Amino acid sequence: MSFTEQCWQETKPVYDAILAHPFNRELAAGTLARERFAQYVQQDSLYLRDYARCLALLAAKAPTSEIAEDLLNYAREGIAVERALHGHFFTQFNIVHAEEATPACFAYTQFLLAVVAMESFPVGLAAVLPCFWIYREVGLHIAEHAAAPNPYMPWIETYSDEAFGTSVERMLEITNEAAAASSASVREEMLKAFVASSRCEWMFWDSAYRQEAWPV
């Protein structure tokens, strides 16, 4: 079993909970309330700003120039695609940009930034991987079951796209290589980071569905 296969096995209940969440079930059906999707897009826009920083920080720690280039490309080109997707929905649904992250978004981004900045390259890599991998799997699942027509089809098409899948496969390869070159204790920390980020992914969708706001 590869390291990433171990990660997926460990977090399979989290992934199943993400698929079963009403946000994603209703998105697939095309019935998700616009205000819930709007909050998701607002927060995802804030999230991507910090996620791009995480990828750039990881690139600076990368063991080879090839890996550094891949990470910088994902920070630049991949994020650009997602920002274009956000722009589509900001315009189509007349969404206003949010100025403040919700508790779930804030917790997730601060966790990622702290791990990438303070921990080793392999551990930081494991922390950012769920955003790639889980979105690919969710996108493919929803694409297979989506109702047509569906107002959220651009979102579905983005995360089920073959080019995005290729990026995910490369991230899996890089992560497995990093794990194989690491000690058992580092791999344990990598697994912990992957699990934590996977849980944050569920919280992010749940936060948008509940229309979460700071209580004070």
Residue 130: predicted pLDDT: 98
Tell me the per-residue pLDDT of 46-100, one tens digit each, with 9 for 90 and over: 999 999 999 999 999 999 999 999 999 999 887 888 889 999 999 999 999 999 9
Residue 4: predicted pLDDT: 98
Residue 77: predicted pLDDT: 83
Mean pLDDT of 125-147: 98
Percent of residues, the chain, with pLDDT higher than 70: 100
Tell whether the model's pLDDT for residue 11 goes beyond 80: yes
| Superfamily designation of domain 3-210 | Heme oxygenase-like (1.20.910.10)
Euclidean distance between CA atoms 180 and 204, whole angstroms: 30
User: What does the domain layout of the chain look like in residue ranges?
Assistant: 3-210
Residue 81: predicted pLDDT: 87
Tell whether the model's pLDDT for residue 173 goes beyond 80: yes
Tell whether the model's pLDDT for residue 126 goes beyond 80: yes
Look up the pTM and report it.
0.96
